[in-house]
Amino acid sequence: MTQTARLLIVGPQGSGKGTQGARIADAFGIPAVSTGDVFRANIAAGTPLGEQVKAITAAGNLVSDELTGQIVRDRLAQPDAAEGFLLDGYPRNLQQVRDLDGFLAEHGRQLDAVIELSVPRDESIARLALRAAEQGRTDDTDEVIAKRLAIYENETAPILDVYRGRGIVDRIDGVGTLDEITERIMAALAARGIARPAAV
């Protein structure tokens, strides 16, 4: 029996949301739907979508709401997402919140919880700089990192106000060991009645 959990994880670049999102999704037996992963997979495969996304991101811009929304809707319509999912990277602005609300409402669904990973700005920058050095990522320059964090603060942070108004946001301290942070998330979800499924 798979736990029904429709979750969103939100946090600035470098907050560890990709890692935590994958851990939480695995614990609940639901797919982690990361727009970044979908985009990168398409770029690697050289698909038409990948070429389109590559050109957009190379210029330091974000993929359009319309294109991103189409990809997410297609993914959430797949059978393995019927009992739940964890979204990472979408919605990232108020228009995408409205689009997601509309899609879920059509299927009689809604988000159960929003996990906000809270990490100080200087910690995010330090983590991203370390990642760039370790992985040789030329796109993680100080200038690009600052631009991405500014976009997050200006566009993505306001979506949390919407979800707070619905009473579904759990703010989690994103500083600590991976296990500590995972347990904080699990405890917050359990307090909402979204418990980790019992081992089969």
pLDDT tens digits, 111-162 = 999 999 999 888 888 888 888 788 876 666 778 888 888 888 888 888 999 9
Return d(Cα 57, Cα 147) in angstroms, integer.
13
Q: Where are the domains of the chain?
A: 5-34+84-191
Q: How far is CA 176 from CA 53, 65, 145, 164, 193, in A?
A: 34, 33, 22, 24, 25
Q: Could you give the strand order of the β-sheet that contains 113-118, starting from the edge strand earlier in sequence? A: 32-34, 84-88, 5-10, 113-118, 169-173
Nearest Cα residue to 13 out of 175, 116, 152? 152
Whether 92 is catalytic: yes
* Assigned superfamily of 5-34+84-191: P-loop containing nucleotide triphosphate hydrolases (3.40.50.300)
Q: Say whether 131 is catalytic.
A: yes
pLDDT in tens, 64-101: 898 899 889 888 988 999 889 999 989 989 999 999 99
The one catalytic residue among 6, 23, 148, 184: 148
Longest dimension (CA), the chain: 48
To the query of whether residue 148 is one of the catalytic residues in this protein, the response is yes
Catalytic residue, candidates 40, 54, 73, 131: 131
- Is residue 40 annotated as part of the catalytic site, yes or no? no
pTM: 0.85
Is 17 assigned a catalytic role? yes
